[in-house]
Amino acid sequence: MNQLTYDVIVVGASNAGGMAAAAAAEKGAKVLVIDKMKSAGYLYRYTIASLHSKAQQKAGVAIDQNELVNFLSTFAQGHVDERLLNLWAEHSSEAVDWLDDQVLKPHGAYMQSTPDAHYETERNRAFATGNEVTAADGKYWAMGYGNWVIEKAQSLGVEFAWQTKLEQLVVNNGRVTGVLARSTATNEQLALTATKGVILCTGGYGTNTALMQQWNPLGLKTNVYSDGQRDDGSGLVAALQIGAAKDEEPASIVFNRGAVPAGTNTEDFYAVDLTPPDDPGYLWLGSYPMLKVNLKGERFFNESAPYQYQPNAAAQQPGYLSAMIWTEATMTDQALAQYHTLGCSRLGFPGIFNGDEARAEVQQRVKEGLVKKADSVADLAKQLQIPADSLVATVARYNQEVAGGVDQDFGKEPSRLEPVNEAPYYGAIIGGRLLATLDGLRVNSRMQVMNQQGQPIAGLYAAGNCSGGFFWGSYPDHVPGLTASHAVTFGRLAGQAVAD
């Protein structure tokens, strides 16, 4: 930090924060970004949604704005501000194109549009929204490109103060004029002034168990891991302390990839502050719609659905967990390809899911005891602590339906029916992995934070997962890259708005 007074202070340096800082600096503002950790480049996401980006136009991908916005609103049962959805749709390509032109191409990387989003039933309605941050060789994502975003912001004059944590917002005459922050390295308190405004890009609250208990208590039971390593809710709390309004119901993005030991009690199992890529209990295969049963060994829902539907459905079952059952045969590339999954679970680039790596992960989890392997379904049930008679009967019934090509019990698509009839058999107890909470501060179309009376709080803006009105309940993962796009698009808009 070269000084204590800036035009704009951005709190948080990842997706929304980096974009907000660069956008404000492009308009001539003197910008400081504070971030409580030592770095943030590794947090930037690789699949970013948009409508009509240059990459999508090149690939011939066309998405109707009204169709998509109405889908998102319907998915959320209307618990969203459709004006924000339309604002995102109208500006999403600007953020993607800026990243492509200003950040990726100077480093030899580029945006690549995912040209398809396979689905067969309305339950799995999908949109080809993904733009992939692609490395120069075209074979994988440009990992770590977030560092290039930060470098770009620095080239525009943005300063970064790492290991600097927000403590509270400073308000004078009803206007936010700065922040009180503390160095986590020296414990020094800093009074920082923002003459134009403060932009909160602090993420959610998933690692703060007290806030989870207050705002999303069911999430503590259905999720067994929290992968939002830095989401302590500090920005939300600071804004609420000065009268900001927040979404009243929880929203989150959850992956059904959390393997836990058999017999786990979700009332007291919630592992937080994990560090990728060594996340314990990760099981990518969990996002594939194979046979899932409750802890009684009974099938209880259509496994072919958005990721989060599994922990949602399990919340209606004893123990809040599921067991996934599969065989060696269902792990071949040919078998995995038939599921046509989207986003990061898609088999092969532009997804991250790789058959060889997935099979290796399963074997590693077998060694750890999180995945069980057996020569019979009955033995597998005993290892999973599930009633053997029940699981044997369930598997037999499932195989009967697979053979007939029709899932009469729950209506799963025929293309996603795969037999479970050949040893060795595999099984794992699965819960949710909370990537992020998405219920945030109420904002208007200029990204200004609103108070309880629906009026903007002067000098205070928010973007990314700490901003609300955009999501409700479960995350629509069949719109690939939506959370990342929400962050970068609204971060860019917030930076532009505060600098005007």
pLDDT reported for residue 440: 98
The predicted-structure confidence for 47-62, as pLDDT tens digits, reads as follows 999 999 999 999 999 9
Query: Average pLDDT over the chain, rounded to whole?
Result: 96
Helix residue ranges per DSSP H, 102-208 = 146-155
For residue 45, the SS3 value is coil
Instruction: Cite the beta strand spans of 4-104 per DSSP E.
Output: 5-11, 31-35, 47-49
| Distance (Å, whole) CA 321 – CA 323 | 7
Helix residue ranges per DSSP H, 301-460 = 309-314, 333-337, 355-368, 377-384, 388-404
pTM: 0.97
State the average pLDDT over residues 36-46.
94
pLDDT reported for residue 276: 63
Cα torsion angle, 125, 131, 132, 133, sign: negative
Give yes or no for residue 425 having a pLDDT over 70. yes
What percentage of the chain has pLDDT greater than the value 90? 95
Helix axes 15-26, 482-499, angle to 10 degrees: 30
| Distance (Å, whole) CA 226 – CA 254 | 9
State the average pLDDT over residues 3-10.
95
pLDDT reported for residue 279: 80
pLDDT reported for residue 301: 98
User: Both ends of the chain: CA-CA distance in Å?
Assistant: 23
State the average pLDDT over residues 307-318.
97
For residue 354, the SS3 value is coil
CB 306 within 8 A of CB 477: yes
| Distance (Å, whole) CA 26 – CA 354 | 39
The predicted-structure confidence for 225-257, as pLDDT tens digits, reads as follows 999 888 999 999 999 999 999 999 999 999 999
Higher pLDDT, 181 or 272: 181
pLDDT reported for residue 272: 87
CA distances from 320 to 222, 296, 304 (A): 6, 12, 19
The predicted-structure confidence for 322-348, as pLDDT tens digits, reads as follows 999 999 999 999 999 999 999 889 998
The predicted-structure confidence for 465-492, as pLDDT tens digits, reads as follows 999 999 999 999 999 999 999 999 999 9
Give yes or no for residue 275 having a pLDDT over 80. no
pLDDT reported for residue 200: 99
The predicted-structure confidence for 134-157, as pLDDT tens digits, reads as follows 999 999 999 999 999 999 999 999
pLDDT reported for residue 277: 63
Give yes or no for residue 120 having a pLDDT over 70. yes
State the average pLDDT over residues 275-286.
83
pLDDT reported for residue 351: 78
For residue 133, the SS3 value is strand
